Amino acid sequence: MSQFHDIYDRRDGKGFLAAFVILLLCVFSPVASFSANKLVVDADLGSETINKNIYGHFAEHLGGCIYGGVWVGEDSPIPNTRGIRNDVVEALKDLDIPVLRWPGGCFADEYHWMDGIGPKEKRPPMVNTHWGMVTENNHFGTHEFLDLCEMLGLEPYICGNVGSGSVLEMQQWVEYITFDGDSPMANLRRQNGRKEPWKVKFWGVGNESWGCGGNMTPEYYADLYQRYQTYLRNFSGNRLYKIACGSYGTRFDWTEVLMKKAGRRMNGLSLHYYCGSGKKSRSATDFEEEDWFAQLQRALEMDEILAAHSAIMDQYDLEKRVGLIVDEWGAWHAVEPGTNPGFLYQQNSLRDALVAGLTFNIFNRHCERVQMANIAQTINVLQAMVLTQGEKMLLTPTYHVFEMFKGHQDAVLLPAYLQCGDYQFGNEKIPMLNASASRSREGSILISLCNLDPNNSAELDCELRGADPSSVLARVLTADAITAHNTFDDPESVKPETFHHYEFNKDGIKAVLPPKSVVVFEIQ
């Protein structure tokens, strides 16, 4: 019943020795020994850094993400700073969000940035045809977005319009934002109240150009990408990191063609993967165990998807210069009853927390190639961190996972070997546990674990090699029901608690991970 999961490469050969010893134990021990879940972490090894941008976000002009979620306007009774909600900013600050993608998504390819600058009363409205056919007043534009980024202390990632825009339009946007000299665009920026240029490193060239961004073939888009990127200039010391529109899920031909034709001219290639919802029920909060299982099984597929795209990229870029940028990911449930279907407003349960936890463990382990990821989306849309209702705000279970995992940002990935049992449902099974480990610059070790089994706790023996630990802090996120979630009436139903079910000594940790839980150990 037990098997190996997540045996990582170890350059000095000891890793293979460890794996071999575990294998021998499995083969020659009585069946009872298979029940032991074992994690071996080499705390003194590791060479790859987990780019902090893996913990990035995405905010689109979609439903209540920007309007109501971020932007309420200067005259709103909801406390705000220059129109941006104070409560949301305060909550998001605690996540140490490194990067924020904007303005879409599909919206990016019908957004004309010049409509979103200058006096608000003069900004022309538009119809948001992708998302609910609502009228967009363009009150949240370039200046407001970059103000938000400054408030949150993070890097902006702007996605430019290829689908319905022009090379000139995108070229001028970069000049408007980043040029400090004397030019029509830089002067227009000054006229609109911003003297100094901003720094914007991350620049996307179109979104889902195979679909809502223009229904293109990879060959056609690869040519367009090369043309657009030619005119995106590095002004005034602002060095652009150009991200080409990438594939979705298992569509591998797109990655192949883009890398072959345009790989030399990009810094990053994007990838989108949504793990959907349940099997029978697509509701975010009304589902059964078969939906839980199906959702987590699909979320785990991220591992193979990343491996396959990375393998294609390796053929053209063995030294891994081009980053794989997973700039949309997450669960996609049915919208909450009574809400606009075009607004993608969904609740968020413990199941979503497990999706986030296991996905981060996968991203961390692929950090050699994955240089950024952006969950869809930060507020009120899809797998959100924050839900708002008028002046009320709540933090979702997914929010708490971002907070619990933030110690992985810019830490060194540690080799970790996990042997675990399966979580079986009907005739299918998935690994019960999922883990990753890292060492921060300061030397602390973070081990993050998910127990995907909703019915059984997991005894785990975690051996820490090459460390001299003195203390550990442990936290757990779990609940009684798989459907547990936070509501405006009960906003703290699911939140992290101190975790006590473990023993710690200098060799490691023995723990009992509760069913359906995310657990983190921070070891000093």
Contacts to ligand AHR by CB under 6 A: 60, 104-106, 207-208, 328, 376-377, 382
Radius of gyration of the chain (CA): 23
Q: Of these residues, 144, 328, 403, 492, which one is catalytic?
A: 328
* Pairing status of strand 80-81 against strand 126-128: unpaired
Put the strands of the sheet holding 412-413 in their side by side order. Answer: 412-413, 433-439, 445-451, 517-523, 472-477, 497-498
Nearer to ligand AHR, 376 or 437 (CB): 376
Annotated catalytic residue within 175, 208, 428, 522: 208
CB of 232: closest distance to ligand AHR in angstroms?
Answer: 20
Phi, psi of 67 (to 5 degrees): -80, 115
Q: Which amino acid is at 315?
A: Q
| Smaller CB separation from ligand AHR, 170 or 382 | 382
Question: Quick check: 293 and 257 in contact, CB under 8 A?
Answer: no
Pairing of strands 56-58, 99-102: parallel
Distance CA 112, CA 125 (A): 11
Q: Is 328 a catalytic residue?
A: yes
Angle of the 184-191 helix axis to the 167-178 helix axis, nearest 10: 60
3-state DSSP assignment of residue 502: strand
> Helix (H) and strand (E) counts for the chain?
11, 28
Residue (209 or 285) nearer to ligand AHR, CB: 209
Report the residue number, 259 or 382, with the smaller CB distance to ligand AHR: 382
The two three-digit tokens of residue 279, written as one number = 């099997």
Return the SS3 of 168. helix
Cβ–Cβ < 8 Å for 274, 331: yes
Instruction: Give the burial class of 12: count Cβ atoms within 10 A of its Cβ; 0-12 exposed, 13-18 middle, 19 or more buried.
Output: exposed
Site of tokens 């940035």 = 113
Q: Smallest gap, in angstroms, from Cβ of residue 377 to ligand AHR?
A: 6
- By beta-carbon proximity to ligand AHR, the closer residue of 207 and 517 is 207
CB of 469 to ligand AHR, least distance (A): 41
Output the DSSP codes for 193-250.
T--SPPP--EEEE-S-TTTTTT---HHHHHHHHHHHHHT----TT---EEEEEEEETT
Catalytic residue flag (residue 368) = no
Nearer to ligand AHR, 161 or 207 (CB): 207
Helix, strand, or coil (residue 428): strand
In angstroms, give the least distance from the CB of 213 to ligand AHR.
8
**Nearer Cβ to ligand AHR (381/433):** 381
Minimum distance, C-beta of residue 198 to ligand AHR, in the bound complex (Å): 24
* Shortest CB 69 distance to ligand AHR, Å: 14
| Residue 105 Cβ vs ligand AHR, minimum distance, rounded to whole Å | 3
Shortest Å distance, C-beta 207 to ligand AHR: 5
Closest-CB residue for ligand AHR? Answer: 105
User: Residue 216 corresponds to which amino acid?
Assistant: M
Query: Rounded to an integer, what distance in angstroms lies between the CA atom of residue 388 and that of residue 403?
Result: 19
Smaller CB distance to ligand AHR: residue 141 or 213? 213
Question: Which of these, 369, 289, 294, lies nearest to 331 by C-alpha position?
Answer: 294
User: How many residues are present in the chain?
Assistant: 524
Catalytic residue IDs: 208, 328
